[in-house]
Amino acid sequence: MTPFGAKVRDLRRARGVSQKDMAAAIGVSPAYLSALEHGRRGRPTWAMLQKIIGYFNIIWDEAEELLRLAETSDPRAVIDTSGLSPRATELANLLSERIAQLTDAELEQMIAIVHRPRRRSR
């Protein structure tokens, strides 16, 4: 499941809405909505995001969070390291091979490192 899919599921369940009813309201099949929630589909289109935001009638921070989650929820992420250092390529390949073995705590540590503000070199 992707972060976006988990959020959509949480919003849907908090409002007591079935996948079937939500899918009908936004003009998709229940199978598509299920695949989107479970991360078996790529990122939703901008138009689909707008339908989901409108369906839940969310605004401002909550809508921005949903958009941010969609941007980071591609279940088939590809890392292009051409032109980067050999260490960057090594890291990308190790992560690809071993990500399924990492614990949630380890994943949180890595995410925190990536989100950490970068210092500017002088």
Number of domains in the chain: 2
- Say whether both 65 and 90 belong to one domain: no
By residue range, what is the domain housing residue 110? Answer: 78-122
Q: Are 40 and 74 in contact (CB under 8 A)?
A: no
- Say whether both 67 and 26 belong to one domain: yes
pTM of the model: 0.74
pLDDT digit string (tens) for 64-113?
999 999 998 888 888 999 999 999 999 999 999 999 999 999 999 999 99
- Say whether both 97 and 67 belong to one domain: no
- Say whether both 7 and 61 belong to one domain: yes
| Structure token digits, residue 8 | 């959509």
Dihedral angle, C-alpha 82, 85, 91, 97, nearest 10 °: 40
- Say whether both 64 and 14 belong to one domain: yes
Q: Are 7 and 45 in contact (CB under 8 A)?
A: no
Q: Are 5 and 12 in contact (CB under 8 A)?
A: no
Position 13 pLDDT exceeds 70: yes
Instruction: Tell me the CA distances in angstroms from 43 to 12, 15, 77, 105, one per residue in order.
Output: 18, 23, 10, 25
